[in-house]
Amino acid sequence: MIGVILGTRPEIIKMSPVIRECERRGIDYFILHTGQHYSYEMDRLFFEELELPDPNYSLDVGSGTHASQTAKVMTGVEDVLLKESPDIVLVQGDTNTVMAGALAASKLHVRVGHIEAGLRSFNRWMPEEINRVLTDHISDYLFAPTETARENLLAEGISNQKICVTGNTVVDAIYQNLDIAKKKGNVLNDLDLEPREYFLVTAHRQENVDNRTRLKEILRGLEGVQKEFSLPVVFPVHPRTEKRIKELGIGVDGLNLTKPFGFLEFLQLESQARLVLTDSGGVQEETCVLGVPCATMRYDTERPETLNVGSNILVGADSGKILEGVRSIAAWKTGWENPYGDGIAGKMIVMVCAAARSQ
């Protein structure tokens, strides 16, 4: 039996190819949703949109300090693992759910597979970096998306025998879910947008939105982009970001602030944007796969492959640098090579897990 542990919307998206492959192969598995950022009821739309089965277990741990959230996830995961006794547990990414789920499984001597292993920003101030490193070092199977990620793991003394370079499940998810998205409505029509005639923005990282100076600079930079290019800047506002904007009393001018979208709607917007500005790691990957230029509002990234192929640049959290960066890439042509594989990562991961169950 395979235990699939997830807790955030990006994890649902990137785990969707693995879940679909388990279904296709008739493999016994269960889904445990921790509800790290949202309750399961709020995330139910994602499962429905992506045509995935409902989770078997929902913890609804909610937000909180890193310590309290990690403790709640570990306690809840431990209870489920004792009940189900899976052969292997799969976690994806770098959240508290990932680290806590992997640690709970490891303490019970349940094998752990880490999807998207080996990513490094080399910035230990980021809580995600701590989660990545700890999870990699207690995992039994490390599913690295690229050769760069594999090299990071080897440099930290992890055995090559534990590592499997699979590509990134984001490629599978985009290919599979674009097909689903095409059957749904057209969000561009709903927002009165023309393809390649708008910018798309996401911002949610703690180091950006919890810092008044950085958040204000990001918003001023986005306002500058809108004024200079006279194109809509569509900004689906993450609940954390919306809360901080209100708490800090920061005015916003000229931006098209919207509610968060479901993944299929966001995928439509992302695939047709002229350029995307983000602080999200997953969006850096998605734009690279979709052939859409990306400006990352951070000073480092655990996705250096996007920089290397020329789909992405770092513009930091400075209004002038953001505007300068958009100027430099607004006229980019697509055509870079996708470094994240050919869309079979989910199949490879499940194949390794199926073999592991017989050992």
Q: Report CA 182 to chain centroid distance, whole Å.
A: 22
Closest among 274, 321, 261, 311 to 289, alpha carbons compared: 311
Catalytic annotation, pick one of 33, 114, 137, 204 = 204
Type of residue at 150? R
| CB 117, CB 88: distance < 8 Å | no
- In angstroms, rounded to a whole number, what is the distance separating the alpha carbons of residues 133 and 348? 23
> Is 204 one of the annotated active-site residues of the chain?
yes
| CB 144, CB 153: distance < 8 Å | yes
The number of residues making up the chain comes to 359
CA-to-CA dists, residue 15 to 89, 201, 226, angstroms: 12, 24, 35
Only one residue has tokens 């042509």, namely: 333
- In angstroms, rounded to a whole number, what is the distance separating the alpha carbons of residues 320 and 78? 48
Could you give the residue numbers annotated as active site? 204
